[in-house]
Amino acid sequence: MNERYNYQGKRYIALVRASDTTEGTTSTQAQLAMLHERAVTLKMSLVAEVILDGVTGSMPGKRAEAHIMVAFLGYCLQVTLRQKLQRHAPGLTPRQTLTSLRSIRMVDVHLPTTDGRTLILPRLTEPGAEQRMTLEKLGLTLPPQPPPRIRAAATAEAAAAGQAGEASVLM
């Protein structure tokens, strides 16, 4: 972590992988101890411990710091969304909002051309009435539709084999 940044008083979530070993530096307890020790030196306070069951393996020190930062950023985003909702849409919770907006997706529409190339149209799905209302209350707008791309014939065949039915979630 950036030592120049003042983490004093900041809260953190200890995020570790479950481990089958009970001894050594890869055990779940050793990982938690390492995170807590680092947080104490930075004068941070614990919010929660999250043990990822079913995800095994060691967590070297540098990755542990990255996990702390990612968990902290997620927590910051949730708090920011909660505060924005309290000001603009007091009846909504962050979970309800994210569940509602989850149906807005970015999809690639592949259209073959007569000369063997593929026209790719990246498109956002249209938000429903509930999503439009939520976006409006929060003062957010969706980005404009991205421009189309054209893929050469040889590349298009390889991509079609690997991207059939592919869609990515916006958020």
Same domain, 131 and 68: no
pTM for this predicted structure: 0.48
pLDDT digit string (tens) for 12-47? 777 776 666 666 666 778 888 888 888 888 888 877
Q: In the chain, how many domains are there?
A: 2
Give the amino acid at 127.
Answer: P
Same domain, 19 and 52: yes
pLDDT at 50: 73
pLDDT digit string (tens) for 56-108? 555 555 567 778 888 888 888 999 999 999 999 898 899 999 999 998 998 99
- In a domain, residue 156? The reply is yes
Same domain, 84 and 26: yes
Residue 91, classed as helix, strand or coil, is: coil
Final residue of a domain: which of 88, 120, 139? 88
Same domain, 23 and 81: yes
* CA dist., res. 78 & res. 154, Å (int): 44
Residue range(s) defining the domain that contains residue 70: 11-88
User: 53 pairs with which residues across the strands?
Assistant: none
pLDDT at 156: 45
- In a domain, residue 63? The reply is yes
Final residue of a domain: which of 88, 115, 147? 88
Residue 40, classed as helix, strand or coil, is: helix
- In a domain, residue 117? The reply is yes
Q: CA nearest 72: which of 151, 17, 1?
A: 1
> Do residues 104 and 142 make contact, with C-beta atoms less than 8 angstroms apart?
yes
Same domain, 108 and 80: no
* CA dist., res. 131 & res. 99, Å (int): 10
Final residue of a domain: which of 23, 58, 88? 88
Same domain, 121 and 62: no
